[in-house]
Amino acid sequence: MNIGLFGGTFDPIHHGHLALARAAKQRCALRRIYFVPANVPPHKQRQPLSSYCDRYAMVVLATLGDKAFIPSLLEAPNSEALSSSFQKPSSPRTVSAANYSIDTVRRLKGTLPKGDRLFFLIGIDAFRDIASWREPEALLAECEFIVASRPGYSLADVANALPEALRPKASVTKPFSKQPARGELVLPGVNIHLLENVHHSVSATAIRESAAKARSLTKFVSPAVAEYIRKMELYQGG
């Protein structure tokens, strides 16, 4: 069985996330996609976020329409931290341990049958930083990657973003500098599936600004998520 893992802050989960998941599901015949809200994202430890509970609740609401989309608590905080997780986004964080993708992937794989294939869903902007993640070579070996491309990126850009130990020589990637990032990139220790035409220009900043001004959010998020944001008065700080 093919299984997808889609991690992120999901603050909030929006149409772009769901479009990526749908395209990945079709492209790689994914039977399940686990949406995993991060409790403490390593790259956003100093950035104010909505509470874990609010972000997880929005993931639940956004994924109700597809039985293959499964909200996951793989990166949920411990019970003590969870009890205080409804603090305002601007409040100091009480949880210091960051969630690293390699740990989450290994935890999920430990629950799956050995014959299952695991695919890691990610946007190309985030993939550009993959070499700086914890144990990137191990992460790329543990699962296949599904990367949502967008105009302006070449196949060479994808290859050059890999950790140095896995990165092809410049003489190899140079011919691909004018080829759009699409199709498959298969190298020793790397298997990447590139998705086209799934880029949605949705920014969290635009969503927060619209919420703060009490504007409609349905062009960004599902109606259920928009209603949750309104009821819980999220993003009122702008």
pLDDT at 156 exceeding the cut of 50: yes
**Single pTM value for the model:** 0.89
Q: What is the mean pLDDT of residues 14-32?
A: 96
Residue 74 is assigned to a structural domain of this protein:
yes
Residue 46 is assigned to a structural domain of this protein:
yes
**What range defines the domain where residue 89 resides?**
2-201
**pLDDT tens profile 185-215:** 999 999 999 998 887 777 888 898 899 888 9
Residue 91 is assigned to a structural domain of this protein:
yes
CA distances in angstroms from 170 to 45, 95, 157, listed in the order given: 34, 42, 11
Share of the chain above pLDDT 70, in %: 89
Amino acid in the structure at residue 202: V
Residue 21 is assigned to a structural domain of this protein:
yes
32-37 β-sheet, strand order = 69-71, 32-37, 2-8, 117-123, 144-148, 190-195, 183-187
Count how many domains the chain has. Answer: 1
Q: What is the mean pLDDT of residues 43-69?
A: 89
Question: Residue 7's beta-bridge partner residues?
Answer: 36
**pLDDT tens profile 34-47:** 999 999 888 665 66
pLDDT at 230: 95
Cβ-in-10-Å burial (0-12, 13-18, 19+) of 116 comes to: middle
Q: Using an 8 Å Cβ cutoff, are 14 and 217 in contact? A: no
Three-state DSSP string of 174-221: HHHCCCECCEEEEECCEEEEEECCCCCCCCHHHHHHHHHCCCCCCCCC
Residue 190 is assigned to a structural domain of this protein:
yes
CATH number of residue 166's parent domain:
3.40.50.620
Residue 128 is assigned to a structural domain of this protein:
yes
Residue 210 is assigned to a structural domain of this protein:
no
Residue 223 is assigned to a structural domain of this protein:
no
